[in-house]
Amino acid sequence: MKFEFIHEHKDEFKIQKMCRQLGVSTSGYYRFLKNNGVSKQSEYKKLADVMIKIQEVNDWELGGEGLREGLKKQGLYIGLSKVYRIKRMFGIYPKVSPKKKHNRRKYKDNIISENILNRQFKVGGINKVR
């Protein structure tokens, strides 16, 4: 009962302070979380839903840093490594634009010069070809 109360109010107060006030150990609280199925997966799922909404608003163009800033604007302060972990777990990736293929053949006439020397490359003097 005490552990459930701590879990419900963990966003409002620090976990250590609540454990101290309620007379339970923090290790007991974390053991409760591990054993009773209240895991990070449900928290990650909620964060992933918020991240997907942010991506949809921004046309799927944000990377990890942009998502983190979007979460921060909504009052969710999350580390960058956790953002990348959730992105990887739920497949939240920005759209990638295709690379531009440069077609240089249309410039080929400008690159190849006219054969003025007729393949006579021996120089007889200054500015003169034999």
- pTM of the entire structure? 0.52
Q: Distance between CA 68 and CA 82 in Å, rounded?
A: 9
Phi-psi category of 59—alpha, beta or left, where left has phi over 0 and alpha has psi -120 to 50?
A: left
**Rounded average pLDDT over 31-51:** 81
pLDDT at 87 exceeding the cut of 70:
yes
**Rounded average pLDDT over 7-25:** 89
Task: Provide the pLDDT for residue 50.
Answer: 93
List the domain boundaries for the chain.
1-38, 39-94
Quote the mean pLDDT of the chain: 83
44, 88 in Cβ contact below 8 A? no
Q: Which residues of 10-39 are buried (b: 16+ CB within 10 A; e: fewer)?
A: eeeeeeeebbeeeeeeeeebeebbeeeeee
Give the tens place of pLDDT for each residue, 43-59.
Answer: 889 999 999 999 999 98
